[in-house]
Chain A
Amino acid sequence: MNSLDFSIVLQAWPYLWSGLLFSLSLTAAAFLVGMFLGTLFALVQHFELRVLSQLVRSYVALMRSIPLILVLFWFFFLVPIVLGHLSGNGRPVPVGATYTAFITFGLFEAAYYSEIIRVGLRAVNKGQFEACQALALSTFDTYRHVILPQVFRVASPIILSQTIILFQDTSLVYVLSLTDLLGAASKLAQLHGRLVEMYLAVAVVYLIISCAASQFVASLRKKYAIAGARR
């Protein structure tokens, strides 16, 4: 057992920090894209649109049944081909691992968020829909101003917990050799032969961020529960 020397971690901090920023921006982008698409997917299923809702259901089931690493491999392979077709000349467009990661996480997380929102939609009291009808609100206004705000509020603890899991899952971009927090640590660890210190430090950083975020979610859950909702 070599003696541990954590000064390497301090020296490497700027590089690790840029890795952490990448992890966080990937999380944020996947959250935004995932929530937007997820809400769309959930509404498609909620309205039982004929062909579309079958497609969405299969997509969600597929994404939830195969490992994220395999999804990353799929997209790494598929995205250039699909973009090639879209751009017209049919030749694969090299997009690079970074864009692949952003696209993959957005589309992958959409499946998970859509399930949360779909269940949230079912939890909304039927009277809310009836009241909107009685007020002659259009379908758009009903969902935009009455139903969805309630869904997001009720489901927010679960949505945020899923986002913490998403943040941890971004570490899997390691398989695309990207420089996220773990990727940065791993590259430096191999360069300097300091695997123990680097991986321990990274574990602590992830632990602190995730723990703090969980605490934050727990406090939100108390503060923002809809008054009178069963909790």
Chain B
Amino acid sequence: MFTVLLEKTVDGQRYIDWLVSGLGWTLALAFFGWWIAFAVGVVVGIGRTVQNPFFRALARLYVEIFRNIPVLVQMFLWYFVLPELLPTTMGDWIKQIPPPWGTFFPALWCLGLYTAARIAEQVRAGIEALPRGQDEAAAALGLSGYVTYRHIILPQALRLIVPSLTSEVMGIYKNTSVALTIGLMELTAQARQISDATFQTFAAFGAATLIYLALALIAYQAMMLIDKAVRIPGAAPGREADGSDFDAVKLENPVPKGMEIVK
């Protein structure tokens, strides 16, 4: 079935080379996008929980905007709209970035900042799930706000939310396929190109599907390992028991509201 992948293409490569190159772009987008998302997400998530009403509102605005516009529309905003809104020289400079970088970077910002909004909500939930006593003890010890977040709140909150971050990891690698709409030849786009060139649609899409499945499995296992390694002793176990990246705890006892019992 997959022998077609070993055939020569018009440009002298084999079809499988197209797939591998697509996989490379998909992985690059997911990996670098993830670190942008994580960095921005943690900052915005903290912003959602600080005392200062200005920063809280700002963080909320960020989350609402990036979460409530479809990722495909955001992709178009970064790719088509942003260069037009910038000063002409800068916009022209952006438009002249040679492919594939001209599509890779907008896709990267788009996925990073979109996923950041989702991570921010997880970070906020993690922070709000901590007992108030942690905050109060830090205050009683005379720790500054920065030190409290850096050494007390964040280390605990981030460890708590590793299981929920699994679905964000799964989300960002799946969303990389949206980049094909602005012309980045990532995995799905390459699969379609192979299908168009050879009419072996089963083989082309089947190969892509298997690769995505493998990625999902790797991402899932990696996150489970991380969760196991960093889990706070005595905290609720992660979700490896039921093999789902859906948070069962959220249903029975949503994390943000859950702590009201303790307060």
Contact = CB atoms under 8 A, between A and B. Distances in A.
Contacts of B208: 66, 70
A115 interface: yes
Nearest to A200: B81
Contacts of A12: none
Contacts of B245: 64
B68 A210 contact: yes
Given A119-B251, A172-B178, A231-B254, A66 B209 contact: yes
A65 B177 CA distance: 12
Nearest to B205: A74
B177 A119 contact: no
Interface stretch (B83-91, B101-109, B227-235): B83-91
B166 to A, nearest CB: 12
A168 B71 contact: yes
A70 B212 contact: yes
Interface in A1-52: 1-2
A199 B246 contact: no
A223 to B, nearest CB: 14
Contacts of A155: 251
Interface in B51-76: 64-65, 67-74, 76
A1 B82 CA distance: 10
Contact of A70 (B65, B205, B254): B205
A122 B252 CA distance: 9
B65 A207 contact: yes
Interface string A115-139: 1101110110000000000000000
What is the interface of chain B mostly: helix, strand, loop, or mixed? helix
Nearest to B247: A119
B197 interface: no
How many interface residues does chain B have, given as a range? 35 or more
B70 A182 contact: yes
Contacts of A169: 70
Contact of B84 (A122, A158, A196): A196
Nearest to B176: A67
Interface residues of A, number: 44
Contacts of B72: 171-172, 174, 182
Q: Which residue of A118, A169, A171 has the most chain B CB atoms within 10 A of its CB atom? A: A171
B175 interface: yes
Nearest to B87: A1
B257 interface: yes
B77 interface: yes
Contacts of B175: 67
Interface in A182-231: 182, 186, 195-196, 199-200, 202-203, 206-207, 210-211, 214, 230-231
B213 A62 contact: yes
B159 interface: no
Given A65-B212, A158-B250, A70 B177 contact: yes
B70 A171 contact: yes
Contacts of A119: 242, 244, 246, 248, 251
Nearest to A23: B70
Interface of A: 1-2, 62, 64-70, 73-74, 77, 115-116, 118-120, 122-123, 154-155, 158, 168-169, 171-172, 174-175, 182, 186, 195-196, 199-200, 202-203, 206-207, 210-211, 214, 230-231
Interface of B: 64-65, 67-74, 76-77, 80-81, 84-88, 91, 170, 174-178, 180-181, 188, 191-192, 195, 201, 205, 208-209, 212-213, 215-217, 242, 244-246, 248, 250-254, 257-258, 261
25 contacts: A1-B91, A65-B215, A65-B216, A66-B174, A66-B216, A67-B175, A67-B188, A69-B177, A69-B180, A70-B177, A73-B191, A77-B201, A77-B205, A116-B246, A120-B251, A168-B71, A171-B73, A199-B76, A199-B80, A203-B69, A207-B69, A210-B69, A211-B68, A230-B253, A231-B253
Given A174-B72, A199-B77, A200-B81, 6 more contacts: A69-B178, A73-B191, A158-B251, A196-B81, A207-B65, A231-B257
